[in-house]
Amino acid sequence: MNQALLKDTEDAHAAPGPHGLGATLKALREARRLSLAEVSGRLKYSSRQLEALEGERWDVLPSGVSLRGLVKNYGRLLEADVDALVSMLENEVGTLEAKPVVLTAASLSSSDLNMQSEGSRSSWGWLIVILVLLIVAGFYAIERGWVPDAWLVFDWLKQLKQ
């Protein structure tokens, strides 16, 4: 019986498993049956960055705080021990200075470009709504007589007050 127990523990130690941070994250993602595209959509990091992280290609990833933030967010999404993942990261990469990430049009995928254009359209929409509301509120205040005559520099505004 002791030999069987000894063999089981030897098998457990010899069993192949994830050894690095990238392999661990990939195994956790696959265990949750999430694709890279799903994770990319939830975390707002590109699929290329996530592939580089899982492949442990540190030279193409940002370093320092940005990389730690990526690992923390990825760990939270996978409901993993974030502190352990950050510790693994520091063991593999060490503490590095943050290097700038240069994005070119060729490095962006079409999904990245679509997300950027959506944000700018919605910002303009909100700006227009706010401006219209301010104009309507201003005319209402003039009609009700809440605005002093000294503020009404145009004659047509003074006529609205009457």
- With bands split at pLDDT 50, 70 and 90, how would you rate the model's confidence at 111? low
Mean pLDDT score across all residues of the chain:
76
Q: Is the pLDDT of residue 49 over 70?
A: yes
Burial class (CB in 10 A: 0-12, 13-18, 19+), 82: middle
Q: What is the pTM of this model?
A: 0.49
* pLDDT (average), residues 31-49: 88
H-helix or E-strand spanning residue 135: helix 110-144
89 C-beta neighbours (distance < 10 Å), count: 22
- With bands split at pLDDT 50, 70 and 90, how would you rate the model's confidence at 131? very high
* pLDDT (average), residues 126-155: 88
In whole angstroms, give the CA distance from residue 85 to residue 72. Answer: 7
Three-class SS of residue 145?
Answer: coil
- With bands split at pLDDT 50, 70 and 90, how would you rate the model's confidence at 66? confident
